[in-house]
Chains A and B, each alone.
Chain A
Amino acid sequence: METLLLEGNEACVRGALAAGCRFYAGYPITPSTEIMEMMARELPKVGGMFIQMEDESASLGAVMGASLAGLKAMPATSGPGFSVMQEHIGFASMAEVPCVIAHVMRGGPSTGLPTQPSQADVMQAAWGTHGDHPIIVLAASSAYETYELTIKAFNLAERYRTPVILLSDAVVAHTREAVTLVQADMEIEERPQPTVSPEEFLAYGDPGNGVPPMPPFGEGYRYHVTGLCHDVRGFPTTRSDEVDFLLRRLLSKISRDSDRLQWFDCWHENSETMVIAYGCVARAALRAVREARDKGLDVGLMKLKVLWPFMSTTVSNVLENCRRVLVPEMNFGQVSREVERVNQGRCEIFTLNKVDGTAITPPEIVRKLEEMHP
């Protein structure tokens, strides 16, 4: 097994290629650009297609075109580029076009802080496009995790026919660490194919698990794909029963499977105080927990790798066994609100919000933990 020194962005490309990604369309934007540059170098070597598009909306459009033609495909972006992509994230959800979007968060709003880290797009990742829609959002805290979660993101996109957003940040993206390429051990999933004839095939029916099989364009299954509400054949409809069936199926195909989306790591999980963190902050939190324990504080850490759908049951179980929780975030409190929702008044919830463009450090978390322990 190969071990390489990779930054998060390079690890993302390695993961994507290992997962079978053979199409990339992108637009340069800091701090995600290295993903595009490396894809431009590597994809032709494995027979894949690369194209630099005119903007991020075009990037995701081309990615969805390639996906409909049968290729695993992704764009990567940051900050304003993610905002530009939102319209097409909605299309991918509605028309159920598998794709992975790597979003390297930087300071915002607007042009914000292009080269500096942030975690302020957690809510946007879930709700940035209009309309209720399903989405899966993962968060990576290291180069290795970026590699691993990129592979898993492709698996989820194919399994559930949904856009999957992989969040990282300027720190994770640009931190180089040893990554052991373990794809041989990881299962690679392909999108389900129809088992019935084209005449019987329902492009947007429910085969039982909520996820209709998806034949690629050009292989004999001629069907219609649209961003309009559609019936089980894919044709536009305004019939309330058909619309209701569609939207409920879209949401439930992921929520019914949420048991399979509980990815997290815990350290000292039955501690009196738990820190809940994700992304680069989870790294600082781990250090802080270790240092705080040196000082005699009974503290543990839960690192979230799935942000949406929010791991309510798992987080609730952790809350059940502790008295205080700290949610440090590089935003004004996006995941902490979800923790509050799950908590329902059981624990005392504390937040540590940093929005100055620099990463949260271990001493800052230790200080907060000390304040929390009277």
Chain B
Amino acid sequence: MMSTESYSQKYPRYEIRIAGSGGQGIVLAGIILAEAALLDRKYVAQTANYGPEARGGNSVSEVVISDTEIDYPSALELDLLVALSQEACDRNLSGMKEGGSVIVDSNLVTSVPWQTAACLPFGEIAHKAGDRRAINMAALGAVASFCPVISAESIIAVMAKRLPATKVEINRQAFDEARQAADNLRTQPQVCQNQSEA
């Protein structure tokens, strides 16, 4: 009766963790991803963990996506980690799945001991788009590029719904810019400048 395939092989999950510090919009980014996954008719669970500080402190948001009902809602092995601070990167690499990808802000994270890391200046991209606070949506642009289970269209649709009307355009621009940059990185694989020896 026993199948040779394990339960997790039979029913794979895609796990994303976005980590940074309070005030970077980490939780909102997670919610937007989760809603986008829902639009794409996936099963999804989104969790958040943060300290007592309203600003600063460690902030983590996870999104688990699957084609079947999700039993355990938190991440078990990360397929994708987005780190928007050095501390966030250092703390969370241990949760990575072998072969998973790490996306970091190239200005905020200087050391990424991981093979497949994409370093992009999300803060700068957001600033150029018109508001540095759009750093979270810029990071989602890279997620859209790396994550095969959520469509960029759905993320864009949810952004338009969830963000204040006056901020949608700026955030959309930051998202598109970062997504394009991430696509380029993926098609022309290059070693991240800041990557230290793994």
Chain A interface residues (CB < 8 Å from chain B): 3, 5, 30, 114-115, 142, 171, 174-178, 283-284, 286-287, 290-291, 293-294, 296, 359, 361-363
Contacts and interface: CB of A to CB of B under 8 A. Distances in A.
A5 B8 contact: no
B44 interface: yes
Given A5-B44, A176-B45, A294-B7, A362 B72 contact: yes
Interface string B19-46: 0000000000001001100100001111
Contacts of B70: 177
24 contacts: A5-B46, A114-B52, A115-B49, A115-B50, A142-B73, A171-B47, A175-B46, A176-B34, A177-B44, A177-B45, A177-B46, A177-B70, A177-B73, A178-B38, A178-B44, A286-B72, A287-B76, A290-B7, A291-B7, A294-B6, A294-B7, A296-B2, A361-B74, A362-B72
B74 A359 contact: yes
Contacts of B44: 5, 176-178
B192 interface: no
Nearest to A291: B7
Interface residues of B, number: 24
* Chain B contact surface mostly: mixed
A283 B31 CA distance: 20
Contacts of B49: 115
Nearest to A296: B2
B98 interface: no
A171 B73 contact: yes
Contacts of A171: 47, 73-74
A146 to B, nearest CB: 13
Contact of B47 (A175, A178, A363): A175
B71 A176 contact: no
A5 B51 contact: no
Contacts of A296: 2
A5 B162 CA distance: 12
Contacts of B51: 115
Contacts of B72: 283-284, 286-287, 361-362
Contacts of A178: 38, 43-44
B52 A3 contact: no
B159 to A, nearest CB: 14
Contacts of A3: 38
B48 interface: yes
Contacts of A293: 7
A37 to B, nearest CB: 15
A185 to B, nearest CB: 19
Given A5-B38, A291-B6, 11 more contacts: A115-B49, A115-B52, A171-B47, A171-B74, A177-B70, A178-B38, A178-B44, A287-B71, A287-B72, A294-B7, A363-B76
Nearest to A117: B49
Interface string B51-94: 11000000000000000001111101000000000000000000
Contacts of A177: 44-46, 70, 73
Contacts of A174: 47-48
Contacts of B2: 296
A290 B43 CA distance: 18
A178, A283, A294, A296 — most chain B CB neighbours (10 Å): A178
A9 to B, nearest CB: 12
B38 A291 contact: no
Contacts of A362: 72, 76
B12 to A, nearest CB: 13
